[in-house]
Structure 1
Amino acid sequence: MSEQSLTGLARAPRVGAWVTLDSPVGTEQIARSGFDYVCVDGQHGLLGYDAQVRALLAVSAGGATPFARVSTNSAAEIGRVLDAGAHGVIVPLVNSAAEAGEAARAARYPTSGGVRSYGPMRLGSHFGTTPSETDAAVTVLVMIETADGLAHLESILDVDGVDGVYVGPYDLSLALGARVPFEDAILPRLDAELERIATAAAKRGKIAGVHCADGAQAARRAEQGFTFITAATDISSLRADMALQLSSARGAGVELVEARAY
């Protein structure tokens, strides 16, 4: 899927990649690999706004749908990444329906009840003829990764303009009581909560998104009902493949460092 909104994705799972490094050529090649979407990480990624613009251009050039994660639930930041060409935005640390509503309004123009300022710097397929048409093509996902967000899951999903949720399992495992991310003792509860999230989203016809460490984990999340699934991150994939090639060259047994999702 390329150059189109992923809104309504609840019925058709999509698999994506995550970009944290300022490498436009590398990002373009990732987008050309066949992923449905590529998300540019403005929260934990090593990219300033100029680098995010380059990355979004590279994703579009590679033919995947460009998404961006912002660093905070800020109307200014959400508007900037959408102006730069993101078709969808992922908003972290959303704890309540009120905060989810703020994110949804920040991504839409006043003609649709939002607060986004009109500035179509990159005219193209992600900008409609009218502001309302542009709004209809924007996907807004809010992250469920805190105890409060989990407690208010249903009311967050019920917010108009929120197209779905995206789980950050690294932080969610800590919110559930793990001393370190993915502590063994917390994994059964984490898995149960993930199933609950996927079920709640499906019940409302909304997107259930999740961040995964690798493709094998992504396949398991698809079986749980997730529909927007990040299967690879640039820096983790780089480390894993470099370790594999080095080990092969030395003729030693391969022991890959586990890539943790966040």
Structure 2
Amino acid sequence: MEAGGTAVGLACHTGDPHVAETLAVAGFDYLYLDQQHSVGGLATPVDMLRATARTGTTALVRVAANDPVLVGRALDAGAEGVIVPGIESAEEARRAAAAVHYPPTGVRSWGPTRSAYGLGPDPVTVNGQVLCLVMIETAVGVANAKDITAVPGVHGVYIGPGDLAVSLGLDPVTGPREEPHRAAVAGIVSACAAAGIAAGITGDPVTESGRGFRMVTAGSDVGFLKAGLGAARAARDALIEGDS
């Protein structure tokens, strides 16, 4: 993304380390491990991040809330960045950025409990290596997009299209195709471009890159599982029809 291109990644919602590892070695730019809507517990990110380490894929964690404890745990577990949901104001964005960075830039606590303690970079160096991505997914957040994207330490905005649709009074599935939603998304992308940070979303990489997104999640473990099951079911049905 620093070179002006578009990073294409995947998402893991199942909370399974083996699945996370399988996704991480698939050759995509990043993998985000979901802790907001997944069934995984607090220990799950550690296991999944161990499984994805040294795969060459940037590992991100979407935390469950804008909570410095949750952000710190994800980063201490080995995440290279976090996606923080539900951001509606510059103050909330500042809180998220502060949780990601060590003092004097932020308030992240220095936790010497993992096995690699003392072997990695110092806090100042780490501050320049971790990503803070905030989610805009409400009408209020859209209205404050320019202020949110201007917050120092925020490296990008990830859009939650379903929640944004609901906030705009639209259907979460079909709403993203409607003009009010598209206009809101365009406003966020424009604010990100003006601030020099990345805009991210889930969707088709070619289509979303054309809309100005520099970070596109192309699919997820659950989505791939459903697609595979659909293909298998279609093959079974074709066989049954052929035998009838």
Same fold by TM-score, threshold 0.5 exceeded? Answer: yes
**CA distance in 2: counterparts of 1:147 and 1:184, whole angstroms:** 13
Q: CA deviation at 1:252?
A: 6.9
Q: CA deviation at 1:102?
A: 0.2
**CA distance in 2: counterparts of 1:83 and 1:37, whole angstroms:** 18
- Find the partner of 2:198 among 197, 204, 207: 207
Q: CA deviation at 1:219?
A: 2.0
Percent identity between matched residues is 37
Letter of the 1:195 partner, please give it. A
Q: CA deviation at 1:225?
A: 0.8
Q: 1:147 touches 1:175 (CA, 8 Å); kept in 2?
A: yes
Alignment match, 1:237? 224
Q: 1:209 touches 1:228 (CA, 8 Å); kept in 2?
A: yes
**CA distance in 2: counterparts of 1:224 and 1:184, whole angstroms:** 17
Q: TM-score, normalised by structure 2?
A: 0.91
**CA distance in 2: counterparts of 1:251 and 1:206, whole angstroms:** 48
Is 1:80 matched with 2:80? Answer: no
Q: 1:164 touches 1:206 (CA, 8 Å); kept in 2?
A: yes
Change (3 A) 1:122 1:74: farther
- Find the partner of 2:211 among 218, 224, 230: 224
**Structure 1 stretches lacking a partner, 5+ long:** 1-7, 254-262
Alignment match, 2:161? 169
**CA distance in 1: counterparts of 2:161 and 2:38, whole angstroms:** 17
Alignment match, 1:142? 134
User: Where does 1:33-182 land on structure 2 (aligned, <5 Å)?
Assistant: 33-111=26-104, 113-120=105-112, 121=114, 123=116, 128-178=120-170, 180-182=171-173
Q: 2:15 touches 2:33 (CA, 8 Å); kept in 1?
A: no
Is 1:194 matched with 2:185? Answer: yes
**CA distance in 2: counterparts of 1:133 and 1:244, whole angstroms:** 47
Q: TM-score, normalised by structure 1?
A: 0.85
**CA distance in 1: counterparts of 2:115 and 2:144, whole angstroms:** 36
Q: 1:10 touches 1:205 (CA, 8 Å); kept in 2?
A: no
Q: 1:30 touches 1:62 (CA, 8 Å); kept in 2?
A: no
Letter of the 1:86 partner, please give it. A
Q: 1:10 touches 1:227 (CA, 8 Å); kept in 2?
A: no
Q: CA deviation at 1:119?
A: 1.4
Letter of the 2:134 partner, please give it. V
**CA distance in 2: counterparts of 1:231 and 1:252, whole angstroms:** 31
Q: CA deviation at 1:61?
A: 4.3
Q: CA deviation at 1:64?
A: 0.9
Q: CA deviation at 1:175?
A: 1.2
Q: 1:73 touches 1:91 (CA, 8 Å); kept in 2?
A: yes
Count of aligned pairs: 238
Change (3 A) 1:78 1:185: closer
**CA distance in 1: counterparts of 2:102 and 2:175, whole angstroms:** 45
Partner SS state of residue 178, structure 2: helix
**Structure 2 stretches lacking a partner, 5+ long:** none
Partner SS state of residue 46, structure 1: coil
Q: CA deviation at 1:245?
A: 1.6
Alignment match, 1:12? 5
Indicate the larger mover: 14-23 or 94-103: 14-23
Partner SS state of residue 210, structure 1: strand
**CA distance in 1: counterparts of 2:36 and 2:227, whole angstroms:** 22
Q: Deviations over 1:182-202 (max 9, x none)?
A: 345961221222222222211
Q: CA deviation at 1:242?
A: 1.1
Q: CA deviation at 1:246?
A: 2.0
